[in-house]
Amino acid sequence: MRGEGTYVANMESHDAICMAVVRATIAHGRILGIDSSFARTMPGVIDVVTGSEIVANTGRFVPVVQLGASVTAPGLPIAADESVQYVGQVVAAVFATSQRAAIDAVNEVIVDYDSLPVISDIQTARSGEYLIHPELGSNIGLRWHGGANYEATTRSARKVRRTFKMPRLIASPMEPRACVASYDEEGESFELICSAQDPHRPKAQLAELLGVSEEKVRVIVPDVGGAFGAKGSIATEYAIAAYCARRLGQRIRWIEERGENMTGGYQGRGMEITVEIAVMDDGRFVGLKSLVEADLGAYVYPLTTGVPISAAVLMTGNYVFQSAEADVIGYHTNAVPTGPYRGAGRPEAGFCIERIVDAAAADLGFDPVELRRINLVHSSEMPYTTPLGVVFDSGNYSQVLEMTSASLNATYTKVRSHLSPGMLVGKGLSLYIERAAPGFWERGSVEIDPDGLVSASSGSSSHGQGHAISFAQIIADQLGVSPELVQLREGDSADGDGVGTFGSRSMTLGGEALNLASIEVRRMAVDRASKYFEVEPEEIVYELGRMYVTGSPSRDIDIFSVAAVARDAGEPLVSEIRSRIEVPVISFGGYGVVVSVDPDTGEARVQAVVAVDDAGTLINPMLAEGQVLGAAMQGIGQALYEEAIYDEDGQLLTGSFLDYLIPSSSEAGYSFEGTFLETPTPYTSLGAKGIGEAGTIALPPAVVAAVGDAIGVVDSLVPDMPLTPEKVWRALAIRKSHS
């Protein structure tokens, strides 16, 4: 906001030529020909490279197979070869001396297609009437089954079943994707400066796609204007730019436009989930069974297939079930692939379990809070392993439920008294778990610089979360120095290896690595000081970055002077640590929402949100609150406003912010009351868990429950998300016609 950030688009790259890409305008068809003869004559145009040339010389993305799933889905090629499979797929790349010239020329490249039948949704894919990849024999690219014993354990129980739809969502970071790619002929190596969540996965992916060893690739990630899961894999365009940098012998710059981001970037969610729970007469849950049907898109990115599996695995939520079973089926459609979007499976699971609990409460005559109370996993049972194998490390879910419920009731009364007469009001509550810190290790290093600074480096890099501040606090706390003295390096693969930033893992693992490295550096400093004063290390007292000999406070030295002595002795004060945990940690919390609904227009507005979040040891409460607020807004976006809609020809009807409503300040006029609890994870010395996704998991079910409550319809008549004014108005009209 101060204009001091360095994003890819404002990095100096005068020597680079500009790339713009020709995208498929139909969702499925054979390419009969590409005529670039006129485009090539346009001012500033240097070259046009076709998709078939690119595909012939590069590889495809390789799907990551999780939990033994059967993945037959083909990995995404970085461009279209003989046919196009979704609107937005890259068909050719144009290179010119300016971005404007490249974009102008793109409009003059003529692609001749022979249209083929289009599969634009899961239903059509399921029918198998047309096949996107005939060699698969069906439109199914993913199957997974987990758990057991549902039927055997639930014979005497009552069953409650519902199907929920999760529309495709567009992450919409402020900064779209962008890169500058170059090739060094002498060293036969690539450099990719790009907007991404970390440099490590892009480095591995680029090496794989270009068929070179990872040592030949350096990836630099400067400041990033948001990612929200959608920059966890490199864009196909980054790989095209790198390939063409070698092919053309030029440095290449690609800056995406907003509309391209909406059609060409991978989208989130896109699932239909049927869930059934078996409940005893006294309200105890005994079993849960789910079928997750996912829209994979035409091909898969590495992380596409993991998201629906994650949804299935987390489906039991905060509750005890004797048995659980889950099936996942991923279907191909003629749409851009899906992939992680903030929460990535957790919001889908959270929505289904919380809504099915509300449905069970309604069907069986329980108060929804009481039904939750009966079935929560208790802190005394932790570590607790769910029937689908998820381990809950620590937490007091009952306390969260009671706090959220009390706070919601008080807020509801307050909001009711302020709203204008005639407005309908409703409240909804949900609990959540946030499985955080997957990818079980991270690198962190800390070095005391004799010049008075602490240099730190982390494998986990920030794209808006404020790691520079929170990591500095962790280090400063251990060393007893001011956080301003800590200088953090992140986002450069040449700096060291790492895993990266996703799944709210940075504080748990990146923070832990820096914490342990700081402790080690401090130990080294004490050791060095003891040699300096010729005493035993136990006789050295460490206090606020200074060391003195017990009983002789005047024999003291500060850590930077010790660093100088250590450096002169050839043993600098530096430590690099790889922190590890065996299984992810589980953050948790509860959210309550009060909504108003205008009965004349059907417009639902969130009036108040109450939140109780527990992310273990809090590093920076202000930044953590920022995470909670941002994620809550995105959760509200999913519940009320956002949906990537494709028509039956596979055209994206919501390809601009005129049609795809991301909430802005005009949708954000609600009160927010948040409380943090701190139950440290026992897995690390720091005790921090993740907070980055909480609101995206907890808000959608709470908002939908609140709208249902406001309009007084039974849960099965509450429309699918997003609850747009039209859908809510129709639901109200149906209710009126029945009463």
**Which C-beta is closer to ligand MCN: that of 226 or that of 259?**
226
- Residue written as token pair 């590495």: 302
Q: Is residue 624 involved in binding ligand MCN (CB under 6 A)?
A: yes
Q: How many CB atoms lie within 10 A of CB 220?
A: 19
**Which C-beta is closer to ligand MCN: that of 293 or that of 693?**
693
CB of 202 closer than 8 Å to CB of 219:
yes
Q: Is residue 588 involved in binding ligand MCN (CB under 6 A)?
A: no
**Which C-beta is closer to ligand MCN: that of 23 or that of 200?**
200
Shortest separation between residue 164's beta carbon and ligand MCN, angstroms: 22
Shortest separation between residue 680's beta carbon and ligand MCN, angstroms: 9
Question: Residue 515: enclosing H or E segment and its boundaries?
Answer: helix 512-533
**Which C-beta is closer to ligand MCN: that of 501 or that of 596?**
501
Shortest separation between residue 338's beta carbon and ligand MCN, angstroms: 15
Shortest separation between residue 117's beta carbon and ligand MCN, angstroms: 35
Shortest separation between residue 591's beta carbon and ligand MCN, angstroms: 17
Shortest separation between residue 611's beta carbon and ligand MCN, angstroms: 14
Shortest separation between residue 123's beta carbon and ligand MCN, angstroms: 29
Using left for φ > 0, alpha for ψ between -120 and 50, and beta otherwise, residue 3 falls in: left
**Which C-beta is closer to ligand MCN: that of 503 or that of 719?**
503
| Cα→Cα distances 53→24, 59, 62, 190, 249, Å | 16, 12, 20, 19, 16
**Which C-beta is closer to ligand MCN: that of 147 or that of 692?**
692
**Which residue type occupies 263?**
T
Q: What DSSP assignment string belongs to 455-484? A: EEEESS--SSS-HHHHHHHHHHHHHTS-GG
CB of 616 closer than 8 Å to CB of 682:
no
Q: Indicate which single residue of 99, 182, 461, 504 sits in contact with ligand MCN (rule: CB under 6 A).
A: 504
Shortest separation between residue 620's beta carbon and ligand MCN, angstroms: 4
Which residues inside 55-84 make contact with ligand MCN, applying CB under 6 A? none
CA 473 to chain centre: 24
Q: Indicate which single residue of 515, 627, 638, 654 sits in contact with ligand MCN (rule: CB under 6 A).
A: 627
Shortest separation between residue 465's beta carbon and ligand MCN, angstroms: 4
**Which C-beta is closer to ligand MCN: that of 428 or that of 635?**
635
Q: Indicate which single residue of 27, 689, 700, 719 sits in contact with ligand MCN (rule: CB under 6 A).
A: 689
**Which residue type occupies 98?**
S
Cα–Cα distance, 354 to 444 (Å, whole number)? 38
Q: Indicate which single residue of 169, 525, 623, 644 sits in contact with ligand MCN (rule: CB under 6 A).
A: 623
Stretch that binds ligand MCN, among 36-44, 175-183, 276-284, 502-510 (CB under 6 A): 502-510
Q: Is residue 346 involved in binding ligand MCN (CB under 6 A)?
A: no
- Residues near ligand MCN (CB under 6 A), total: 35
Stretch that binds ligand MCN, among 374-382, 504-512, 552-560, 595-603 (CB under 6 A): 504-512
DSSP one-letter code for 65: P
Shortest separation between residue 358's beta carbon and ligand MCN, angstroms: 26
Shortest separation between residue 472's beta carbon and ligand MCN, angstroms: 10
Residues 225-263 as b or e (16 or more Cβ within 10 Å = b): bbbbbbbbbbbbbbbbbbbbbbbbebbbbbbbeeebbbb
CB of 521 closer than 8 Å to CB of 479:
yes
Strands (E), 569-669: 574-580, 585-597, 604-614
Q: Is residue 616 involved in binding ligand MCN (CB under 6 A)?
A: yes
> How many CA atoms does the CB half-sphere of 81 hold within 13 Å?
11
**Token digits for 31?**
């390419």
Q: Is residue 630 involved in binding ligand MCN (CB under 6 A)?
A: yes
Q: Indicate which single residue of 154, 620, 634, 684 sits in contact with ligand MCN (rule: CB under 6 A).
A: 620
Shortest separation between residue 13's beta carbon and ligand MCN, angstroms: 24
Which residues inside 223-242 make contact with ligand MCN, applying CB under 6 A? 226-229
- The dihedral formed by the CA atoms of 492, 495, 500 and 504, expressed in degrees to the nearest 10: -100
Shortest separation between residue 694's beta carbon and ligand MCN, angstroms: 9
Which residues inside 437-466 make contact with ligand MCN, applying CB under 6 A? 463-466
**Which residue type occupies 389?**
G
Q: How many CB atoms lie within 10 A of CB 648?
A: 11
Shortest separation between residue 678's beta carbon and ligand MCN, angstroms: 8
CB of 478 closer than 8 Å to CB of 519:
yes
Query: For ligand MCN, what does the binding mask look like between residues 659 and 688, x meaning CB under 6 A?
Result: -----------------------------x
Q: Is residue 507 involved in binding ligand MCN (CB under 6 A)?
A: yes
Which residues inside 91-130 make contact with ligand MCN, applying CB under 6 A? none
Shortest separation between residue 696's beta carbon and ligand MCN, angstroms: 8
Task: Mention every residue, 6+ apart, whose C-beta is less than 8 A from residue 28.
Answer: 83, 84, 85, 86, 115, 116, 117, 118, 119, 132, 334, 650
Q: Is residue 528 involved in binding ligand MCN (CB under 6 A)?
A: no
The packing angle between helices 368-375 and 346-364, to 10°, is 110
Q: How many CB atoms lie within 10 A of CB 699?
A: 31
Query: For ligand MCN, what does the binding mask look like between residues 155 and 194, x meaning CB under 6 A?
Result: ------------------x---------------------
CB of 401 closer than 8 Å to CB of 372:
yes
From 739, 734, 706, 700, select the one nearest 597 (Cα to Cα).
706
Positive or negative torsion for Cα 200, 500, 76, 65: positive
**Which residue type occupies 622?**
M
Positive or negative torsion for Cα 255, 261, 265, 269: positive
**Which C-beta is closer to ligand MCN: that of 203 or that of 463?**
463
**Which C-beta is closer to ligand MCN: that of 224 or that of 479?**
224
Q: Is residue 501 involved in binding ligand MCN (CB under 6 A)?
A: yes
CB of 716 closer than 8 Å to CB of 734:
no
Stretch that binds ligand MCN, among 24-32, 89-97, 619-627, 638-646 (CB under 6 A): 619-627
**Which C-beta is closer to ligand MCN: that of 32 or that of 622?**
622
Shortest separation between residue 40's beta carbon and ligand MCN, angstroms: 39
Residues of the shown chain interacting with ligand MCN in the complex, contacts defined by CB under 6 A: 173, 226-229, 342, 463-467, 470, 501-507, 615-620, 623-624, 627, 630, 688-693
